[in-house]
Amino acid sequence: MNIIGKSVIRKEAFDKVTGRAKYTADELSVNTLHVKMVTSAYGHAKIVSIDDSLARQISGVRAIIKGSHELPLTGEEIRDRPPLAVDKVRYFGEPIALVVADRPAIAKQAADLIQVKYEPLSVIQSPSEALKADAPIIHENLLSYDKLGSAYPVPNSNIANVTKIRKGNIDQGLKQSDVTVEGTYRLSPASHAAMETRSAAAEIKPDGYVHITTSSQAPFMVKKLISIYFKIDVGKIIVETPFVGGGYGGKAPIQWEILAYLASKAVGGRRVTITYTREEDLTTAPCKVGLEAKVKIGSTKEGIIQAAEILYLFDGGAYSDKSIDVSRAGGVDCIGPYNIENVWCDSYCIYTNHPYGSPFRGFGHSEVLFAFERTMDQLAGKLDIDPLELRKKNAILPGHTTPTQVLLNRSSVGNLPACIERLKELVGWEEGKQVEEIDDRRVRAKGIACGWKTSTIDTDASSGVILTFNPDGSINLISGVVEIGTATKTVLAQILAEKMKMEVEQIHVKMKIDTQTTPEHWKTVASRGIYMAGRAVLAAAEDVIRQIKDMAAQILRASMRDLDIANGKVFLRDDPNISLDFKDIVYGYKFPNGHSIGGQIIGYGNYILRRLTKLDPETGAGQPGPEWTTAAYYVEAEFDKRDFTYRLQKAAMVVDIGQVLNRKGAIGQVMGGMSMGLSHAGRETFVFDELGRVMNPQLRTYRPIHYGENPDYLVDFVKTPDINGPYGARGVGEHGLLGMPAALANCLSAAADANLNELPLTPELIWRSKGAEL
Amino acid sequence: MSSYNFEYYKPKSIEEAASIFDQMDQQGKDPMYFSGGTEIITLKRLNQLKTGAVIDIKAIQECNVFEFHEDSLLTGAALTLTKVEELNLFPLLSQTVSEIADKTARNKITAGGNICGQIFYREAVLPFLLTDSELMIAGSDGRRNAPIKDVFNKQLLLNRGEFLVQMKTNRKYTEMPFVSIKRRRQWNTGYPLLTVAALKAEQGIRVAISGLTHFPFRSAQMEDALNRTDLAFEKRINLALSLLDVPILNDTEGSARYRLFVLKNTLYDIFQELEGDKLASIEEH
Amino acid sequence: MPVSKSTKLLINGEEKEVTFYNAETLLSVLRHKLGLTGAKPGCLNGDCGACTVNIDGQAQKSCLTLAIEAVGKDILTVEGLDSPIQGAFVDHFAFQCGYCTSGFLMNCHALLTEKKNPSDQEITKWLESNICRCTGYKEIEEAVKSVINFSNKR
């Protein structure tokens, strides 16, 4: 292969290093009005009154919008969320009102003058609190809400949904187990903290067309949902998305676009823009779910796992939106990548008075793997088996079934044993002990974890691609994948170049999405960008090749079967000198006497994920995704036994992604995921006070990992092709992150000789686990 | 004047600055002195600060000195932390300020701004507390010099219209053994959990602490305890901690008890650094 | 009514007439008055570095600088940058979404201009000022070091 595998520089590289790449809030125009939000100061409270009289007097204010029962309820599965709070607020940062004004400073000045009076209500700050018999019900009208998906909320409770996994016979499995281990685990909501905060612009033209520009991973979903919520013809909604400054799942939900739309409506359709401050981006916008978990694993004394009994209580926050799907995905892959015949899991999505959850890189998997892989390590300890050996013994393989009872084969599952073996080599696992003393205070410790993931997305998710030609025979590649930093669009160009046997420089990629003219790619999430859009590109390429050959067959008077294409030419397979240049036929062909045939060649292709099903509500059986990618993770840290502090030395990861399409690009995605996973595991969490207020809503107090705090990284790949993926590739956007928190927790648990079952793993947490002695 | 704007002045002399302040004050404009301005800009955005007029002191010559004059080091309030660190005339000060915020922010944050700011860490004051420095303060009543312990109690106590011009430190202190240790909730960046600066003077060790409570301080009782040469180091530390009479912070960086734990170890590390040679022999008692 | 001044700012070697009010940050003036959107509003709090520019050769967070403080100074933004560090970032895959990139480039540029051969420790001290959420910082380190090594070899 010529271009597949090569580390092609991303197409938009030079725009990004010169400040010329445009993101949503960079598109400024003089006649745009500015929106500022007023947000909730409490985690749970009745709104007694909203006094905007002073705000209305500020010169330059064009509209003030408050919540009302007239506004439609929003939400992707359960429509439980008013776009602006009505009667009460359910989380700190919830939008209450919008001010639309001539300039940002005026909008802010007016927003600061809006007085909201609250009557605080008791605050629910954890799933287990929410499940108590006397817990206040956050959504009194839970049953009356419309449902768009297949959620099963429980009446008179704070339960938005429960996903049940019932595989085999759990009682039998536990009976067959010589040894069981059990653990409880906890992590609080946290944030994606993308460097670009959420931003949207909206305009409603007199012809009724709604134009929205948004920093989103799901512009096509914006279009659909705004149509449903506001009863507008879906064809009259046009959504544009330029470059996105990081999403990691947090820009898959719809929120800021709704506010922009309401603001524009309030000023007669004039163009408005809203850009969240960092504080709003951290708290108002949807965040990463929290989790309380209980995991029990039973195994024979040789270490063959017989049963897993699991309870996941996801902190979905104040509104369910995408949290339900995250909790569902947590059920789908509720165990690690192991062959376990008897699995019993209840995965709940619970309402609390926290900022509400959304997809976060891994879609529930890193949270679930933290709980499961910590339990695996404890099992290894109890059995006195090397932790990697235990994983390998139980590795899920072709011929085994997943918790949702999908029978796997060599194409649909990666090779976990190979990942483990390669990881061992890469990091020198067999050399030295797991914990080695450096001096009387410090030890060097290693920890591992394994992970896997399939996507849990709509069963009819699809992706489309259009190809058009330029007069020089080069191709424009138009796909609905958003360029959020994954370089997917560049890889699509590589796939096309490979298929067309052209130079990748001859492929021009349209970066910006425009839902009216760009074919839909379901959502740029789930590590399915290349998988789905890559197949659509290949289909479109086949379409174009057929059209080219059709034209050439007429002109060269040969059978289409005797023609081939390469380097921008179509030619006779057995006599390449008989050829036509693309540039002479892609806009139609003109014979010497002037007669012309054909016309502009336009190619199209699409791909839909095949034979996916919903999960059975009682057993969880079903096919949620097309394949399972597997990986092995490693963390090495230097731990100070006196201070309980640690320094990340090395982090390694081996993942089976089939054919690597762009090596440096893939390594970059993986390292970025590893870094984010370690950052979350080591330091990131919201800190709430007793009123449910976020105490650390800034990047100086909510701290992502900084340069110099990161470890050295080692990354490698194992290759088990997925027959369905383009050139045998699997996705890899999320996988770097998945097992990192678990690997770090296992490393530090060994180092500190403690059971560290809570995130983030701060020195204070470790000190507490060791008795909190002064 | 709308609430999102303010008037801006950049006087060239102390007298001009004080006079403008008075004028603005009388006009009800809530004037503030502006040095690096990082706090004014960020807190104003969050409505934690209101002002109708800022007076930028960065053009005032006395606020920018950084030099030895006879037996004193003069440190101007408008010096950026980066400049203080680069010229390194006072290594303890360099080490302490080099951990504040981050490098780029330190290109803007000034020594005086950090000392006079609302954000309570005020780590830049620690070396001046340790060295019994003198502060030169100016206002419409002219200039005055005052020992730091007379004018700094949790924060700098300035009369209305006054601003910090310079810090004056006896040269001998800038040459004494020192150490400044900053401990954080996690890894290498962020607000202090604790910053402890220490100096080994002739009479003994001095310590000044930021982040333990909501103001930076030096405690005479603590220092007495730490200098009890008749006690082993660990006992001295326990005694010092038992004499702590400040409320200990319990916040997003850490709990109160954890802070005590970290303080204990940090004091031990300070002894290690400043009295390392004595550590072994005294512990044998 | 806010008192807006019409003043000249020297940006990327060009003298530009702009109107802004006293409390307006340099970041806001660059983006809203001059259309120089390379510097980004990542946090407006000095915590992330995405707004970094160079003022008189020094890295400065433009969200922590009043535009009026920058009058009479030499302002360099990423749009005016012409430095080997840019190509190095491209070659080493030192960015993904690109949002933090302008800030990193301006900080790296100031570092490499001031110090010919910075130690690992110095590089860390400077680059700690910028957050990248997409990469793990390894490629950024390699890009910076490649420029140092190259200029040391010349």
pLDDT in tens, A630-643: 999 999 999 999 99
pLDDT along chain B (285 residues), means of 10: 86 98 97 98 95 98 97 98 98 98 98 97 98 97 96 96 98 97 97 97 96 97 96 96 96 97 97 82 49
Residues of A in contact with C35 (CB under 8 A): 28
Min distance B41 CA to chain C CA atoms (Å): 6
Residue to mutate among C63, C106, C119, C134, with most A CBs inside 10 A, is: C134
Q: Give me the CATH topology for the region A287-406+415-457+612-769.
A: Aldehyde Oxidoreductase; domain 4 (3.30.365)
Q: Does B104 touch chain A (CB under 8 A)?
A: no
CA distance A59 to A107: 10
Q: In this structure, are B67 and B128 located in the same domain? A: yes
A28-121+195-246+251-283 topology per CATH: Aldehyde Oxidoreductase; domain 3 (3.90.1170)
Mean predicted confidence (pLDDT) in A9-27: 97
Following DSSP, what letter does each residue of B192-235 receive, concatenated? -SEEEEEEE-SS-EEEEEESSSSS-EE-HHHHHHHT-TTS-HHH
Of B118, B149, B174, which one is at a domain's C-terminal end?
A: B174
Q: Which chains touch B (3 or more CB pairs under 8 A)?
A: A, C
Residue B219 lies in a domain: yes
- Shared domain check, B70 and B51: no
Q: Which two tokens stand for residue C58?
A: 């020094």
Does residue B2 lie within any of the structural domains? no
Cβ-Cβ pairs closer than 8 A, A with C, add up to 160
Partner-chain contact C66 B37, CB within 8 Å:
yes
In a domain, B134, yes or no: yes
List the pLDDT tens digit at each of the 154 positions of chain C: 456 778 999 999 999 999 999 999 999 999 999 999 999 999 999 999 999 999 999 999 999 999 999 999 999 999 999 999 999 999 999 999 999 999 999 999 999 999 999 999 999 999 999 999 999 999 999 999 999 988 787 6
Strand pairing partners for A36?
Answer: A99
Q: Is residue B1 part of a domain?
A: no
pLDDT digits (tens, 9 = 90+) for A331-356: 999 999 999 999 999 999 999 999 99
Do B30 and B68 share a structural domain?
no
Q: Looking at chain C from residue 53 to 72, which residues have their Cβ under 8 Å from any Cβ of chain B?
A: 58-61, 63-66, 68-69
Place of tokens 């006054």: B162
Residues of C in contact with B103 (CB under 8 A): 59, 125-126, 128-129
Q: Please name the residue of chain A whose CA is at the shortest distance from the CA of residue B238.
A: A774
The reply to whether B280 touches chain A by the CB within 8 Å rule is no
- pLDDT tens digits, one per residue of A574-601: 999 999 999 999 999 999 999 999 999 9
| Domain boundary pick from B174, B194, B212 | B174
CB contact under 8 A, A763 and B185: yes
Do B202 and B273 have their domain in common?
Answer: yes
For residue B187, give the nearest of A642, A643, A709 by CB distance: A709
The tokens for A281 are 């981006």
Tens of pLDDT, residues A108-133: 999 999 999 999 999 999 999 999 99
- Selecting from A109, A642, A763 the residue whose C-beta is nearest the C-beta of B186 gives A763
Whether the CB-CB separation of A661 and A667 falls below 8 Å is answered with no
Q: Cβ contact (<8 Å) for C61 and B6?
A: no
Please report the pLDDT score of residue C1 as a whole number. Answer: 47
Q: Tens digit of pLDDT for each residue in A557-577? A: 999 999 999 999 999 999 999
Strand ranges inside A407-474, DSSP E? 435-437, 442-453, 462-469
Domain boundaries, chain A: 28-121+195-246+251-283, 287-406+415-457+612-769, 462-608
Q: Which two tokens stand for residue A463?
A: 């992706």
C25 contacts B41? CB cut-off 8 A: yes
Residue B194 resides in a domain: yes
Neighboring chains of C (3 or more beta-carbon pairs < 8 A): A, B
Mutate to test the interface with C, among B30, B34, B104, B189 (most CBs of C within 10 A): B104
Q: Is residue B146 part of a domain?
A: yes
Same domain, yes or no: B255 and B193: yes
Question: Which of A490, A707, A744 is the mutation pick for testing C, counting most C CBs within 10 A?
Answer: A707
Chain C touched by A707 (CB under 8 Å) = yes
For residue B262, what is the nearest residue in chain A, using CA coordinates? A643
Structural domain harbouring B150: 61-174
At residue B284, the pLDDT reads 47
Do B30 and B94 fall into the same domain?
no
CA closest to C30 among chain A residues: A26
Q: Are the beta carbons of A712 and C138 separated by less than 8 Å?
A: yes
Q: What residues in A contact B46, CB-CB < 8 Å?
A: 279
Sign of CA dihedral A672, A675, A681, A682: negative
Question: Does the ipTM surpass 0.85?
Answer: yes
pLDDT at C3: 62
Q: What percent of chain A has pLDDT over 90?
A: 98
Q: What is the DSSP string of A99-128?
A: EEESSHHHHHHHHHT-EEEEEE-----SHH
Q: Is the pLDDT of residue A763 over 90?
A: yes
Whether residue A18 and residue C79 make contact (CB cut-off 8 A), yes or no, is yes
Cβ neighbours for B21, distance < 8 A, ≥ 6 positions apart: B31, B33, B55, B139, B140, B161, B163
A741-770 burial: b if 16+ Cβ within 10 Å, else e: bbbbbbbbbbbbebbbbbbbbbbbbbbbbe
Task: Single out the residue in B122, B140, B174 at which a domain terminates.
Answer: B174
Contacts of B36 in chain C (CB under 8 A): 64
Chain C residue numbers touching B98 (CB-CB < 8 A): 125
Judgement on whether residues B149 and B237 belong to the same structural domain of the protein: no
Query: Which of C21, C52, C69 lies nearest to residue B104, judging by beta carbons?
Result: C52
Q: Residue B46: inside a domain, yes or no?
A: yes
Query: Residue B21 falls within a domain, yes or no?
Result: yes
Q: Does residue B217 share a domain with residue B193?
A: yes
Size of interface A-B (CB pairs under 8 A): 62
In this prediction, residue C151 carries a pLDDT of 79
Q: What is the CATH number of domain A462-608?
A: 3.30.365.10
- The b/e string for C28-38 (b: 16+ C-beta within 10 A; e otherwise) is bbbbbbbebbb
pLDDT at A148 > cutoff 90 = no
Number of domains in chain B: 3
The answer to whether residue C124 neighbours chain A at the CB level (below 8 Å) is yes
Q: What is the CATH number of the domain that holds B192?
A: 3.30.390.50
Considering only CB atoms, C45 lies closest to which of A25, A664, A698, namely A698
Q: Give the distance, in angstroms, between the CA of residue B19 and the centroid of all CA atoms in the same chain.
A: 27
Q: How far is CA A344 from CA A300, A332, A397, A452, in A?
A: 18, 11, 20, 19
pLDDT at B279: 65
Interface test with A, best of B38, B48, B121, B187 (most A CBs within 10 A): B187
The C-alpha angle A619, A625, A627, rounded to 5 degrees, equals: 115
Please indicate whether, in this complex, the C-beta atoms of B6 and C52 are within 8 angstroms of each other.
no
Tokens representing B47 are: 């409505």
Q: Are B140 and B188 part of one and the same domain?
A: no
- pLDDT value of residue B276: 83
For residues B192 and B279, membership in a common domain is answered with yes
**Which residues of chain A have a CB within 8 Å of the CB of C37?**
19, 22-23, 26, 28
Residue B4 contacts A, CB cutoff 8 Å:
yes
User: Is residue B186 less than 8 Å (CB to CB) from chain A?
Assistant: yes
Cα–Cα distance, A328 to A333 (Å, whole number): 9
The answer, for C97 touching chain A at a CB cutoff of 8 Å, is yes
Identify all chain B residues contacting C23, using CB atoms and an 8 Å cutoff.
4-6, 8, 44
The reply to whether C101 touches chain A by the CB within 8 Å rule is yes
Rounded Cα distance between B148 and B132, Å, is 6
pLDDT for position A150: 85
Residues of A in contact with B3 (CB under 8 A): 109, 112
Question: Residue C22 is nearest to which of B8, B101, B105, comparing CB atoms?
Answer: B8
Contact C97 A484 (CB under 8 A): yes
Of A12, A19, A484, nearest to C78 by CB-CB distance is A19
Q: pLDDT tens across A234-258, in order?
A: 999 999 999 999 999 999 999 999 9
Can you give the pLDDT at residue C59?
98
Touching B: C residues 79-138, CB under 8 Å: 107, 125-126, 128-130
Partner residue facing B186 (CB), from A696, A762, A774:
A762
Are the beta carbons of B4 and A105 separated by less than 8 Å? yes
Dihedral of the alpha carbons of A84, A25, C20, B117, in degrees to the nearest 10: 70
How much is the mean pLDDT over chain A?
97
